[in-house]
Amino acid sequence: MPALTEIFTGFGSVAVLIIVGWLFGRSEIVDKRASFTLNMVVFWIAMPCMLAHTLATADSASIFGSAFGVAALSALGTAAFYRIFVAPLFKQSGADAVVGAMSSSYNNVANLGVPIAVAVLHDATAVVPALIFQIAFYAPASMTVLEILTNRGHFRPRNVIMAPLKNPIFLAAMVGLAVNAFAIEVPQFVAHPVGLLGQAAVPMALLAFGISLHGMPFMEAGRSPRRAVVVASMLKLFLHPALALLFGHFVFGLNGHALLAAVIIAGLPTAQNVYTFASRFGRNLEQARDCGVITTIACLPTVLLFTLLLS
């Protein structure tokens, strides 16, 4: 079955890059700081370039349609459920709770989304609305909140204004949207290197994720918030796509292929970018990492299940 082959190829590519990172860390060619360094390169250089390039070249008509609304409402609904009901249960607050909420609702769209969309939906552009929502709105907003919550001084209104201006993801989003909206012609000697740097974001994030696994036992007692990880993973695998189904059908009137696309995209695993964000602010890294591993392993059967039920 070619479709299944394509799906397994997508997941296999993720697994290979993570394993390569783990082997590299295990070889002791680099020390444990390598993961942090790679994450900082992704956060400050590669990811902003990917964001700016994606937004500048996206089809504006496909960015803010019904699929965008479903992606936004289902993700924010899942994150809100975690923050309101789950975080207090496990005594999480502040930045830790924000990372936990992102672990339950931030999709691995950039890497797994395209091969799964091609295999199951035969449409690579199905991932664009969710991708735009995450990298242009969800990520910058979350980073702004984390910037404020981890500020060592007392909270000041000025922090709310200044936080986005210190966030490379937010700034890149604004640049990309401006280029798209005003049809600015970017010279190739600028666009090409930006695109090349952006292509490095996903593999570097996965390598950093793999390196982090060495010496940091998975779901380690006393370090990983294991119960919170399990609950967040369940929300990501089941609540997020369930909300996409409800919002898509009853709010936006989607059905058939469009509804299947919304549910499949919502059912993708937790993105390794969440670990990158957690690493940037030094909060709740274990949950971000463990949710990424669990949902990446477990989402293949759930994606297949959703496909069978809604096809």
Q: What is the pLDDT of residue 160?
A: 61
Place of tokens 């390169």: 41
Report field, pTM of the whole predicted structure over 0.85 = no
SS3 assignment, position 270: strand
pLDDT in tens, 281-299: 888 988 999 999 899 888 8
Per-residue pLDDT at 2 exceeds 50 = no
Comparison of pLDDT for 25 and 241, the residue scoring more:
241
* Amino acid making up residue 55: L
Q: What is the pLDDT of residue 32?
A: 72
pLDDT in tens, 174-190: 898 899 989 899 999 99
The predicted model gives 18-27 an average pLDDT of 90
Q: 12-49 b/e with 16+ CB inside 10 Å = b?
A: ebbeebbeebbebbeeeeeeeebbbebbebbbebbbbb
Query: Which alpha helices (H) appear in the chain, and where do they start and end?
Result: 2-26, 33-41, 47-57, 66-81, 87-89, 94-103, 114-116, 128-133, 139-149, 157-165, 168-181, 188-199, 201-213, 226-234, 240-246, 256-266, 273-281, 285-310
For the chain, domain boundaries: 2-310
Residues whose CB falls within 8 Å of the CB of residue 261, separated by 6 or more in sequence, listed in order: 67, 117, 121, 123, 126
Per-residue pLDDT at 280 exceeds 80 = yes
The predicted model gives 42-69 an average pLDDT of 85
Q: Which of 57-71, 149-163, 238-252, 286-300 has the lowest mean pLDDT?
A: 149-163
Pick the CATH number of 2-310 from 3.40.50.1980, 1.20.1530.20, 3.40.50.2020, 2.40.10.10: 1.20.1530.20
Residue 218 phi/psi, 5° resolution?
-65, 130
Per-residue pLDDT at 267 exceeds 90 = yes
